[in-house]
Structure formats: C-alpha cells, structure tokens
C-alpha cells in the first residue's frame, strides 16, 4: 500500500524557511500529522510547507518544490537561465496576488498550478526529468495552496530601506538661464518613485526656499526619489532626483521658453551661434529656408565649459513647429547635423549631442591659418643654446 503524503511529511522532518525570510508565517508550534486533521489554517499551512520542502514526494526522493524555488533566493532560482523549452523560475513571494500564472497566464489559480505539477506537467521533448506525476490527494493540494498563500507578507517585497548608502539630504543650487542664482525661490518637493520599507504610504509634499545664493538643503523623505516644482518654471529637464544624490545644480527655465544644452563631439570644433530647426521631412526641409514659415531657430545663450552651450528660444517663436515631435537641426556652416526629438512646448528639453562627419570649409581654413602662424613663430624664434 502506497504511503500517503501526510504520513511521509510526518516522518520526514524539514527545516522551516519562513522565519528566516522574516515572513512571520507560522507562529504556532509545528503540528503533527494528527493536529493537521483538525483542519486549522496554521496546521494546513505547515503541512503544505512540509510538502513544499520534502523531497520524499519525488520519484527518486531527491527533488522538492524548494529545489528550484530556493527560499534563500526569494523562492526563486536566479541561476537558471532561459533556454529552449525552459523558463526562469518565478519568485513566490506574494504569489497569491499575481494571478494568472505560468509564462502564458494559462492557469487561473494556485490550485490549478499545483494540480498541473501534480500531473507531471505537459509532456513534451523539453520537459525537465524532475517533473513527474506526484499522486497528491485533494487534501495535499489544498495544503500546498495554503502554504503558497502564507507567503503573502504584510510588507510588499522589493521596497527600499533606510541604508547607510542613502543620502540624508541633497544640496540643490538653482540658477537662471544666465547662470545667476535664483534667490528666495519657493520650491515644492514631491516624494515620488516608491515608498520605503516600514512606511504605509508616500510622504506628503513639502515646501523649501532657496537662500540668497540660490541654494537649499532638502532632507530626503521616505521615498526613493523626489521631484522639484517651481511655479512658472521647469527645473532641470524635469528629472527625478534619486535618494543617492548629494549635490546638484538645476537650471530654471521659464515655461514660455525652450532651453536645451548642446554637447559637441566628433570633428565639430566649435558649436554654432544658431541651430536652425525644421520638421523632419525631406520634402519640407528642401523648401524651408531659416526663418521661413514652418521653421525655427535656437540661439546660443551662453557657453557651458569647453564642449557645451545653452540654446534657447521663446515658445511663441517656435509656434510654426507646434505638434512636431521630430525636428531636423542644421547650421549655415555645417548643413544638416541630425534629427532630434525636442520638447518645444516650453521648459527644458533633453540635452543634444551633435557632431560633424567632417569640419566645414571655413573651420578648415581657420585651422590651416593657425598652423601656418604657429610654424612661422617657431621657425623665426632664436635657436636655444
């Protein structure tokens, strides 16, 4: 007569993993097989846990559910990689909240999943040798399902924590388009991203003010990121500040202005004074001259070091490009320099990186003249003794 699963789990002791994960799942003492007959939830969870960890249910007595769903890896197995007919082992934390199941969502409930594996899976040439019919009773299936439900924690997994690496505050300096400090600016700090572990919701927004130097020290709330709002302006390019940031300078762009930082690369020796914009359409670009209807111009406002510059334009001056998602940029000297997606609705847009395949003729002439003067200066200098 075949030994039942319940008698086997009473005979084979298995070390509990729930406590090690901090799940607080099993507060009661470990029940015996007799105690399980009472039908209490705690007893069924414990029997399901034993079935989950017990290799005695496998044909060779060497494989259990936990052989793949390792509790030390969040009830997953990151060492396994996708291959033909194989799928990565899913994490079972909070699995009861994530129906439907399997890679294609074909199983609606956890009971369906347990019965699928009890049948030995779906016969195919790629089926893992460890999968075979288990012969579980209806009570066994219910116990395993109860254990899987018990893996649902009070705290959602994946939340960040107040670690030593986390910044306690971020020092923010706000400047205008000319680089001058924006003093006494009232900034609304919005906690965004995700809440941190041990909290019950996102913190409330709060206000800070910059000092006369445009600087403010912002304490990090219990969230992974913050967003900064300044009335009538966009700070930076609207990017979120992560809780590892310690110091940042943000440019305040009025919402009636478009600003973009342009970086040069490749053979581009210097950035032009203007960037001519036109809709990304070869037909339109061939007939639109700079300043013509349907085009616009970004003008260099100031340089930002040796390899970047800030370009700006009023939104009203770019209204001919309203609704255009991709624009072609060109210069008088270089011609076309690329097609970019720019936000022309107002505020800062993402930085551009422009390069020239070859320097323009004027730059080449300038460079040659400089080389000639350098050579003349060196050859006319007296020889060193």
Question: What one-character-per-residue DSSP string does 258-318 give?
Answer: EEEEEEEEET--S--SEEEEEES-HHHHHHPPTTSTT-EEEEEEEE-SSSEEEEEEEGGGG
Measured CA to CA, the distance from residue 10 to residue 97 in angstroms comes to 30
Q: Quick one: pLDDT at residue 6?
A: 42
Backbone angles phi, psi at 362, to 5 degrees: -60, -45
Backbone angles phi, psi at 129, to 5 degrees: -65, -20
Contact assessment for residue 9 and residue 54, using Cβ atoms and an 8 Å cutoff: yes
Q: Quick one: pLDDT at residue 218?
A: 97
Indicate the Cα dihedral angle 118, 119, 125, 130, nearest 10°: 30
Q: Quick one: pLDDT at residue 364?
A: 52
Contact assessment for residue 365 and residue 275, using Cβ atoms and an 8 Å cutoff: no
* Polymer length of the chain: 385
Paired residues of 191 in beta bridges = 226
Q: What share of the chain is helix, strand, coil (3-state, %, to 5)?
A: 25, 30, 50
Query: Three-state DSSP class for 41?
Result: helix
- Could you give the residue ranges of the DSSP H alpha helices within 119-271? 138-150
Ramachandran quadrant class, 333 (left: phi over 0; alpha: psi -120 to 50; beta: rest)? alpha
Q: Which of 356, 303, 350, 301 is nearest to 325 (CA)?
A: 350
How much is the pTM?
0.56
Burial of residue 268 (CB within 10 Å: 0-12, 13-18, 19+) is buried
User: Which residue has tokens 């085009």?
Assistant: 295
Backbone angles phi, psi at 315, to 5 degrees: -55, -40
Q: 169-253 — its CATH code?
A: 2.60.40.1120
Q: Which of 25, 2, 8 is nearest to 75 (CA)?
A: 25
Contact assessment for residue 311 and residue 271, using Cβ atoms and an 8 Å cutoff: no
Q: Where in the chain is the domain with CATH 2.60.40.1120?
A: 169-253
Measured CA to CA, the distance from residue 347 to residue 283 in angstroms comes to 29
What is the CA angle 351-266-252, rounded to 5?
15
Its CATH class, for the domain covering 5-150, is: mainly alpha
Measured CA to CA, the distance from residue 297 to residue 290 in angstroms comes to 7
Contact assessment for residue 214 and residue 248, using Cβ atoms and an 8 Å cutoff: no
Indicate the Cα dihedral angle 148, 150, 152, 153, nearest 10°: -150
Question: Radius of gyration of the chain from Cα atoms?
Answer: 33
Query: From the CB of residue 151, how many other CB atoms can be counted at a distance below 10 Å?
Result: 25
Which residues of the chain, if any, have pLDDT below 70?
Answer: 1-39, 57-60, 73-74, 76-88, 266-267, 281-294, 325, 333-334, 356-375, 377-385
Contact assessment for residue 92 and residue 76, using Cβ atoms and an 8 Å cutoff: yes
Measured CA to CA, the distance from residue 242 to residue 349 in angstroms comes to 20
Q: Where in the chain is the domain with CATH 1.10.760?
A: 5-150
Q: 257-363 — its CATH code?
A: 2.60.40
Measured CA to CA, the distance from residue 255 to residue 277 in angstroms comes to 20
Query: Three-state DSSP class for 35?
Result: helix
């Amino acid at each position: 007569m075949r030994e039942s699963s319940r008698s086997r789990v009473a005979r084979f002791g298995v070390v509990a993993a729930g406590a090690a994960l901090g799940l607080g799942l099993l507060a009661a003492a470990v029940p015996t097989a007799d105690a399980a007959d009472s039908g209490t939830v705690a007893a069924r969870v414990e029997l399901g846990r034993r079935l989950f960890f017990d290799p005695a249910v496998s044909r060779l007595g060497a494989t259990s559910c936990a052989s793949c769903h390792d509790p030390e890896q969040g009830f997953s197995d990151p060492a396994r990689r996708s291959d033909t007919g194989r799928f990565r082992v899913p994490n079972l934390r909070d699995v009861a909240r994530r129906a439907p199941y399997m890679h294609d969502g074909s199983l609606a409930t956890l009971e369906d999943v347990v019965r699928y594996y009890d049948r030995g899976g779906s016969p195919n040439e790629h089926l893992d040798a460890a999968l075979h019919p288990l012969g579980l009773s209806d009570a066994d299936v219910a116990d395993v399902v109860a254990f899987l439900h018990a893996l649902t924690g009070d705290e959602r997994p994946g939340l960040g924590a107040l670690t030593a690496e986390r910044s306690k505050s971020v020092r923010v300096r706000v400047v205008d388009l000319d680089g001058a400090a924006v003093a006494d600016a009232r900034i609304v700090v919005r906690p965004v991203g995700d809440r941190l572990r041990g909290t019950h919701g996102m913190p409330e927004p709060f206000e800070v003010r910059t000092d006369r130097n445009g600087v403010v020290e912002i304490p990090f709330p219990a969230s992974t990121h913050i967003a900064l709002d300044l009335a009538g302006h966009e700070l930076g390019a609207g990017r979120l500040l992560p809780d590892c940031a310690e110091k940042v300078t943000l440019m305040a762009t009025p919402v009636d202005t478009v600003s973009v930082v342009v970086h040069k690369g490749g053979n581009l020796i210097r950035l032009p004074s203007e960037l001519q914009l036109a809709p990304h359409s070869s037909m339109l670009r061939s007939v639109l001259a700079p300043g013509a209807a349907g085009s616009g111009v970004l003008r260099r406002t100031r340089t930002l070091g040796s390899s970047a510059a800030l370009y700006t334009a009023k939104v009203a001056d770019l209204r001919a490009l309203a609704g255009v998602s991709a624009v072609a940029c060109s210069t008088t000297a270089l011609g076309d320099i690329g097609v970019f997606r720019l936000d022309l609705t107002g505020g800062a847009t993402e930085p551009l990186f422009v390069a020239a395949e070859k320097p323009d003729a004027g730059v080449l002439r300038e460079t040659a003249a400089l080389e000639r003067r350098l050579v003349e200066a060196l050859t006319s200098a007296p020889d060193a003794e």
